[in-house]
C-alpha cells in the first residue's frame, strides 16, 4: 500500500469574481521513502496541491472532490482533531519563506516544546527542550541559542530550524515548498543537502515543490509537471530527463543551462500562464504551444499513460495507450 495516494483531486478557489480550478483532477501516488518533485510555474497550483494534502488550502480555497489517502485512510473524511494529529506527526510541511514562517514573538525552544507536547502530551517540557537541543545541534545550530527569538537568526538558519521542526517527530512524509527560493545560492545547496541527508537517515518520503526543474531533476525519483492546475506530465526523473514528452516540459528543460551540452541554446517558453479565472478552451497550453493543432483549441486532452511510469496530457500522443510513437508533427 502506497504511503500517499491521491485520486482525482479537485481544489477550487471560490473568489467573489468567480471560481478558479486551482487543482484539477490530480491523481498520483507515493511510496515510503520515495521522493517526488512538483514542478511548474508560479500559479500552476503546486503549492495548493501540496497544502491540500494536509487539508490546509487557504481561504477561499476548498477541496471540491477527490481522495487523499495516507496509508490507506482518506484524510478528507477525518475530523479536524484527527487531522491535527496527522499534521506534523505523519506529514510535515516546510514553507517557502523561513523569515515569516516562525512566530516572531516565540522563542525557538517554545516552537519545539509546543510541537512535541501537542503530539506527545506526556512528555515533560524539560525532555522536549532536550530533544530540541539535540536536533538543533544536529542541524549545526548551537544549543544555547534555543532561547533566542526568530529575528535573531539568519534566513538559512531559520530554514534549518524549520526543517528541524519538520523532522522532530520523524514523520513519514515531508513536503518542502520552494524551501530555497528565499535563500542565496550557496545556502540553497547546503539546505537541500541537509534535507537529502536527513531524508536518508530517517527514511522519510519527500515531496519537493519547486518552479526550478533542475533542482527537482537532480533530487527526485519521480516528477510531476503542473500547468494551470493540471498534471501535464508524470514520470520518473530519468525518463523525463531522457525523453520529455509534453511540449511544455520540453520548454522547461530547454530553459535550463546544461553543462554537458556545450552547444545548447537556451530558450524560454513564449507567452505567460493563462488567467485562471477564464482559462483558454481546450488544452490550456495551446496559446503558448509551438505544436498547437485544431483539436487543441476545441477539446481538452486527457492524461494518457504508457506503462505505469509515464503519463502525459497532450494530443501529440496517441489516445491509444501503449504506443508512444509521436505523430508526425506536420499532420
Partner 1 sequence: MKKTKTKLRSILSTLMPGLSSLSKRGPSGWMVLVGIAIVSSIIVMTAIAPWISPYSPILSRVGPIRAAPSLQFPLGTNQLGQDMLSRILCGGSLMLQVSALSVLICFLIGVPIGLFASYAGGMVDSTTSLVIDAVYAFPGLVIAIAIAAMLGPGVINTALSIAVVYIPSYFRIVRSQVLSIKELTYVEAARAVGAKWYTILFRYVFPNVIPSIVVVVTINFADAVLTAAGLTFIGLGVAKNIPDWGWDLTDGRQYLGSGAWWIITFPGIMIVLLALGFTLIGEGLSEMLNPKLQR
Partner 2 sequence: MVERVDLAIIALVLIGIIVSGGTMYYAATTLSNVATVSENQTALTDSVADLTDSISDLATITSTLAETVNASIAEIADLKARLAEIEASLAVRETLIVGTTDSVELTLDPAQAYDYFGWNILQQTSETLVSVKPGSATGSDFVGDLAESWNASADLKTWDFNLRQGITFPGGVAFTATDIKYSLDRAIALIPRIPEGAPAGLGYGDIFDTIEVLSTYRVRFHLKISFSPFLGILSARSSAIVDQRYAPIAQINYTAGNPRASTPVAFVGAYTLARWDRVAGRDTEIRLDANPSYWNLASGYPKLKHIIFRFYRDAAALRLAIEAGDVDMAFRHTSPTDVLDLEPNPNLRVWWGTGAQIQYLCFQTKRAPFNDVRVRMAVAAALNRTAVTETVFLGLAKNLYSIIPPGMLGHTEAFKDAGLDANYALTQSLLTQAGYSPSNPLKFDLWYESSGHYPSSADQAVLYEEAIEAAWPGAIQVTLKNADWASYKTNRDTEIMDAFVYGWYPDYVDPDDYAFLYWASWLHLNYSNATQISLYNQARATDNATLRTELYAKIDDMAAEQCSVVPLWVSGAWAVTKPSVYGIYLDITQDMRYWLISK
Partner 3 sequence: MGLRTYVITRILLTIPTLLLLLSMVFLIMRVLPGDPVALHFEKKAEPAQMDAMRRILGLDKPLWVQYTDYLLGLVDVNYFVSHGYPNFGKSMQTFEEVGGQIFSAFPATLELALYSMVIASVIGILLGVASSKSYNSIPDHLIRGFGTIAYAIPVFFLGIIFQLIFGVYLGWLPTGLRINPRVEPPATITGLYTIDSLLEGNLYKFLESFKALLLPSLTLGIILSGIFIRLTRSNMLETLRLDFVTAARARGLKEGTVTYGYALRNAFLPVLTMMGLQFAMLLGGAILTESTFSWPGLGSYIVQRINFRDYTAIQGAVIMFGLFVTVVSLVVDVLYAYFDPRIRL
254 binds partner 2 (CB under 8 A): no
191 binds partner 3 (CB under 8 A): no
Query: Could you say which of partner 3, partner 2, partner 1, none residue 109 binds, taking C-beta under 5 to 8 angstroms by partner kind?
Result: partner 2
CB nearer partner 3, residue 56 or residue 298: 56
Query: Could you say which of partner 1, partner 3, partner 2, none residue 118 binds, taking C-beta under 5 to 8 angstroms by partner kind?
Result: partner 3
- Binding to partner 2 (CB under 8 A) within 100-119 occurs at 105-107, 109-110, 113
Closest among 251, 227, 211 to 301, alpha carbons compared: 227
Does an H or E element contain 162, and which? helix 155-167
Number of neighbours of residue 319 by Cβ within 10 angstroms: 9
Question: Which of 26-34, 66-74, 81-89, 223-231 is the region at the interface with partner 3 (rule: CB under 8 A)?
Answer: 81-89
Where residue 307 falls (left for φ over 0; alpha for ψ -120 to 50; beta otherwise) is left
Side-chain-facing half-sphere of 260: CA atoms under 13 Å: 3
Alpha carbon separation from 91 to 49, 66, 94, 220 (Å, rounded): 14, 19, 10, 18
- Binding to partner 1 (CB under 8 A) within 45-104 occurs at 59-60
Q: How far is the CB of 104 from partner 3 (least distance, A)?
A: 6
Query: Could you say which of partner 1, partner 2, partner 3, none residue 183 binds, taking C-beta under 5 to 8 angstroms by partner kind?
Result: none
Single out the residue of 18, 124, 151, 309 in contact with partner 3 (rule: CB under 8 A).
151
Residue 87 DSSP label? B
| Residues contacting partner 3: total by CB under 8 A | 32
Closest among 156, 152, 108, 153 to 132, alpha carbons compared: 108
Kindly state the cell numbers that stand for 188. Answer: 540553497
Cα–Cα distance, 193 to 302 (Å, whole number): 36
* Contact call for residues 21 and 228 (beta carbons, < 8 A): no
255 binds partner 3 (CB under 8 A): no
CB nearer partner 2, residue 125 or residue 256: 125
Torsion from C-alpha of 193, 155, 39, 45, nearest 10 degrees: 150
Closest among 56, 168, 51 to 108, alpha carbons compared: 168
- φ and ψ of 27, to 5 deg: -140, 130
126 binds partner 2 (CB under 8 A): no
139 binds partner 2 (CB under 8 A): no
Query: Could you say which of partner 2, partner 3, partner 1, none residue 54 binds, taking C-beta under 5 to 8 angstroms by partner kind?
Result: partner 3
Question: Which residues are 38's β-sheet partners?
Answer: 209, 224
3-class secondary-structure state, position 126: helix
Query: Could you say which of partner 2, partner 3, partner 1, none residue 97 binds, taking C-beta under 5 to 8 angstroms by partner kind?
Result: partner 3
Query: Could you say which of partner 2, partner 3, partner 1, none residue 56 binds, taking C-beta under 5 to 8 angstroms by partner kind?
Result: partner 3
Q: How far is the CB of 120 from partner 3 (least distance, A)?
A: 11
Kindly state the cell numbers that stand for 127. Answer: 525532555
325 binds partner 2 (CB under 8 A): no
Q: Give contact residues for partner 3 (rule: CB under 8 A).
A: 51, 54, 56, 58-59, 80, 84-89, 92-93, 95-97, 100-106, 114-115, 118-119, 149, 151, 162, 165
Point out which residues bind partner 2 (CB under 8 A).
Answer: 105-107, 109-110, 113, 125
Amino acid at each position: 500500500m502506497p504511503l500517499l495516494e491521491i485520486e482525482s483531486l479537485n481544489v477550487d478557489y471560490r473568489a467573489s469574481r468567480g471560481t478558479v480550478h486551482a487543482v484539477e483532477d490530480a491523481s498520483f501516488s507515493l511510496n515510503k521513502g520515495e521522493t517526488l518533485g512538483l514542478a511548474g510555474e508560479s500559479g500552476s497550483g503546486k503549492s495548493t496541491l501540496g497544502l491540500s494534502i494536509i487539508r490546509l488550502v487557504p481561504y477561499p480555497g476548498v477541496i471540491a472532490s477527490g481522495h487523499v489517502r495516507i496509508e490507506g485512510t482518506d484524510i478528507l473524511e477525518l475530523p479536524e482533531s484527527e487531522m491535527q494529529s496527522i499534521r506534523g506527526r505523519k506529514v510535515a510541511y516546510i514553507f517557502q519563506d523561513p523569515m515569516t514562517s516562525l512566530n516572531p514573538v516565540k522563542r525557538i525552544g517554545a516552537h519545539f516544546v509546543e510541537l512535541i507536547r501537542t503530539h506527545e502530551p506526556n512528555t515533560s517540557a524539560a525532555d522536549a527542550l532536550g530533544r530540541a537541543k539535540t536536533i538543533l545541534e544536529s542541524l549545526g545550530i548551537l544549543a544555547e541559542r534555543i532561547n533566542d527569538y526568530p529575528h535573531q537568526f539568519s534566513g538559512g538558519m531559520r530554514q534549518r530550524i524549520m526543517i528541524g521542526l519538520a523532522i522532530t517527530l520523524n514523520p513519514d512524509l515531508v513536503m518542502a515548498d520552494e524551501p530555497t527560493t528565499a535563500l542565496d545560492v550557496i545556502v540553497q545547496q547546503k539546505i537541500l543537502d541537509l534535507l537529502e541527508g536527513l531524508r536518508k537517515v530517517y527514511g522519510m518520503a519527500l515531496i519537493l515543490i519547486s518552479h526550478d526543474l533542475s533542482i527537482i531533476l537532480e533530487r527526485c525519483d519521480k516528477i510531476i509537471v503542473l500547468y494551470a492546475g493540471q498534471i501535464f506530465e508524470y514520470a520518473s526523473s530519468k525518463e523525463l530527463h531522457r525523453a520529455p514528452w509534453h511540449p511544455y516540459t520540453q520548454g522547461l528543460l530547454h530553459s535550463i543551462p546544461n553543462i554537458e551540452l556545450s552547444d545548447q541554446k537556451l530558450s524560454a517558453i513564449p507567452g505567460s500562464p493563462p488567467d485562471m479565472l477564464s482559462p483558454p478552451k481546450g488544452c490550456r497550453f495551446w496559446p503558448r504551444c509551438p505544436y498547437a493543432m485544431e483539436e487543441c483549441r476545441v477539446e481538452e486532452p486527457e492524461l494518457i499513460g504508457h506503462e505505469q511510469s509515464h503519463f502525459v496530457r497532450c494530443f501529440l500522443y496517441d489516445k491509444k495507450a501503449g504506443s508512444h510513437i509521436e505523430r508526425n508533427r506536420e499532420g
